[in-house]
Amino acid sequence: MQRVTILGATGSIGVSTLDVLARHPEQYEVHALSAHGRVDELAAQCRRFRPARAVVGSPDAAARLAGMIADLPTEVSWGEQALCEIAASRDTDTVMAAIVGAAGLAPTLAAARAGKKVLLANKEALVMSGQLFMDAVREHKATLLPIDSEHNAIFQSLPAHYARAPEAAGVAKILLTASGGPFLKRAVETLEQVTPEEACKHPNWSMGRKISVDSATMMNKGLEVIEAHWLFGAPADLIEVVIHPQSVIHSMVSYVDGSVLAQLGNPDMRTPIAHALAFPERIASGVAQLDLTAMAALEFHAPDFRRFPCLALAFDALRAGGTAPALLNAANEVAVEAFLDRRIGFRDIDRVVQRVMNEVQHGAASSIEAVLEQDAQARSAAGRIVDGLART
Ligand code: NAD
Ligand code: MG
């Protein structure tokens, strides 16, 4: 019996994870669930999965949840400390890290430091503190399995005992596929007018709002390039982004002998979730088998960095190193939130990120404190820039 904690249980990944777990009650048991504000959903999940603990974002939310599930044995608490506890608990083997954004960093790191099997959906944690996070994984003998569909596909396409050394494994390129999002073909001049509703309407995947906007700007792919760098020990030049609008091939690895290995499937996150949960075995995920004969032609082309400046900014941040990716991530989180609140336009997102990268000097990512300090600096600079843009 594998005991599982889900950080961010009410989100898109959290719900898909519970869907897979529910198909295999003899193999998996839910130890703890967390949500930020969606107490009603979390209460329903607690009723169904009966976790030992449930964690929410505020004392008010905790009081509401406790009232709703008073008849259950579930212990209710709130806040970051409690998230770290359920991530590191002796009573859990596996932690699904599916909180969105920098808020996921502390509990995800706590799971790594406790040597857990960490299923990593929260790419922002790795982008912010890649070296420190990977060091913690190694030092505490945690097992890190990628949930992001591209990284899960790359993981599946690499040799079984890949040791984060691409050259030794004969890897020539990591080919990260990207759908290109909803604005792949829209006239570039009209991107200024994009609304949050349009940006959140992804052609192939159903996801949370923040990652949906990131997919529309392709910052998501940029964050994934940085994520791939840390997960697979690959320098920026070894990672290539390929636009593939059908999202059937979830990424590929190209080897020095000319072989290209890929993982294919329907675009449904339950596949990588089931893969990581059961690894190295396989379990059913509820995802339909891919019908190759019913498939449209598969297209591939190079990304246009002028249409998607955020992708170029992410490559720049990776090459700059240190805390530059943490600055990029923090500026992007602030800008996306302002865009979703209709305070700034769609194209202002890349402007805010660019200006923060220019204005805030990055440094060494020597400790989590140093990273969080830079994260705070970038957020305050981004907030100021957003206020300026919102006034004009
Ligand atoms: P979502 O917005 O649907 O869900 C986010 C979850 O995090 C919710 O449970 C929410 O309650 C919780 N949360 C939000 N803010 C929080 C805070 N400040 N403190 C604690 N908890 C908080 O997001 P999602 O689409 O499920 O994405 C989750 C993570 O997985 C992201 O990092 C995203 O990049 C990554 N990811 C998602 C997908 C996908 O298909 N949705 C694919 C690949 C990677
Ligand atoms: Mg992805």
The neighbouring-strand residues paired with 264 are 249
Give the mutation target among 12, 56, 155, 231 for probing the ligand 1 site: most ligand atoms within 8 A of CB: 12
Q: Reduced to 3 states, what is the DSSP secondary structure of residue 169?
A: coil
Question: Annotated binding residue at 151?
Answer: no
DSSP state letters, 355-385? HHHHHSPP----SHHHHHHHHHHHHHHHHHH
N-to-C CA span, the chain = 57
How many CB atoms neighbour CB 160 within 10 A?
5
Closest C-alpha residue for ligand 1 atom 4: 11
DSSP 5-26: EEETTTSHHHHHHHHHHHT-TT
Which residue intervals of the chain bear CATH 1.10.1740.10?
Answer: 321-391
The residues of the chain that CATH labels 3.40.50.720 are 2-146
Q: Indicate if ligand 1 lies below 6 Å from the C-beta of 8.
A: yes
Q: Is residue 122 within 8 Å of 31, Cβ to Cβ?
A: no
Reduce the DSSP state of residue 202 to 3 states and report it. coil
Predicted local confidence at residue 220, as pLDDT = 98
Asked if the interface predicted TM-score (ipTM) of this complex is over 0.90, the answer is: yes
pLDDT score at 329: 98
Q: Answer whether CATH 3.40.50.720 is correct for domain 2-146.
A: yes
Sign of the C-alpha dihedral computed for residues 392, 326, 84 and 54 taken in this order: positive
Q: Which atom of ligand 1 is nearest to the CA of 205?
A: 40
- One-letter amino acid for residue 355 of the chain: R
Whose alpha carbon is nearest atom 39 of ligand 1?
Answer: 207
Measured between alpha carbons, how far is 370 from 377 in angstroms, rounded to an integer?
Answer: 11
100 C-beta closer than 6 A to ligand 1 = yes
Digitized pLDDT (tens) for each residue of the chain, 392 residues in all? 999 999 999 999 999 999 999 999 999 999 999 999 999 999 999 999 999 999 999 999 999 999 999 999 999 999 999 999 999 999 999 999 999 999 999 999 999 999 999 999 999 999 999 999 999 999 999 999 999 999 999 999 999 999 999 999 999 999 999 999 999 999 999 999 999 999 999 888 888 999 999 999 999 999 999 999 999 999 999 999 999 999 999 999 999 999 999 999 999 999 999 999 999 999 999 999 999 998 889 999 999 999 999 999 999 999 999 999 999 999 999 999 999 999 999 999 999 999 999 999 999 999 999 999 999 999 999 999 999 999 87
User: How does DSSP classify residue 246?
Assistant: T
Ligand 1 contact, 348 CB (< 6 A): no
Distance of CA 149 to the CA centre of its chain: 10
Q: Is the CB of 219 under 6 A from ligand 1?
A: no
Residues 269 and 203 sit within 8 Å (Cβ to Cβ): no
How far, in Å, from the CA of 259 to the mean position of ligand 1? 35
Residue 124 Cα: closest atom of ligand 1: 32
215 labeled binding residue: yes
Q: Please report the pLDDT score of residue 112 as a whole number.
A: 98
Buried-exposed string 235-252: b where 16+ CB fall within 10 A, e elsewhere: ebebbbbbbbbbbbbbbb
Determine the Cα–Cα distance for residues 129 and 209; give it in Å rounded to an integer.
23
Residue 26 is labelled as binding a ligand: no
Q: How far is CA 369 from the centre of its chain?
A: 22
Best residue among 6, 7, 13 to mutate for probing ligand 1's pocket (most ligand atoms within 8 Å of CB) is: 13
Q: How much is the pLDDT for 41?
A: 98
Fill in the amino acid letter for 384: R
Question: Phi then psi for 21, rounded to 5 degrees?
Answer: -60, -40
Q: What is the pLDDT of residue 206?
A: 85
The answer on whether 332 is annotated among ligand-binding residues is no
Query: What's residue 392's pLDDT?
Result: 77
Report how far ligand 2's centroid is from the alpha carbon of 224 (Å): 7
Distance from the alpha carbon of residue 382 to the mean position of ligand 1, in angstroms = 22
Tokens in use for 129?
Answer: 């503190």
**Binding site membership of 157 for ligand 1 (Cβ less than 6 Å):** no
Reading the block at residue 370, the tokens are: 């140093």
pLDDT of residue 204: 87
Closest by CA to 199, choosing from 137, 188, 290, 210, is 210
Ligand 1, residue 37: give the atom nearest the CA: 11
Q: What distance in Å separates the CA atoms of residue 92 and residue 111, rounded to the nearest whole number?
A: 10
Give the H/E segment covering residue 303: none
pLDDT at residue 320, as a whole number:
98
Give, in words, the CATH class of 321-391. Answer: mainly alpha
Can the peptide bond before residue 280 be classed as cis, meaning omega within 30 degrees of 0? yes
- The strand ranges marked E within the chain are 2-7, 28-34, 53-56, 75-78, 94-97, 117-120, 143-146, 171-178, 239-243, 249-255, 260-264
Strand order from edge to edge, sheet including 2-7: 75-78, 53-56, 28-34, 2-7, 94-97, 117-120, 143-146
- Nearest-atom number in ligand 1 for the CA of 35 is 11
CA of 11 to the centre of ligand 1 (A): 5
Q: With beta carbons less than 8 A apart as the criterion, state whether 231 and 151 touch.
A: yes
Tell me the residue type at 48: R
pTM above 0.95, yes or no: yes
The reply to whether 173 sits in an annotated binding site is no
Distance 367 CA to ligand 2 centre (A): 27
Q: Specify the pLDDT at position 391.
A: 83
**What single letter denotes the amino acid at residue 149?**
S
Closest CA to ligand 1's atom 42? 148
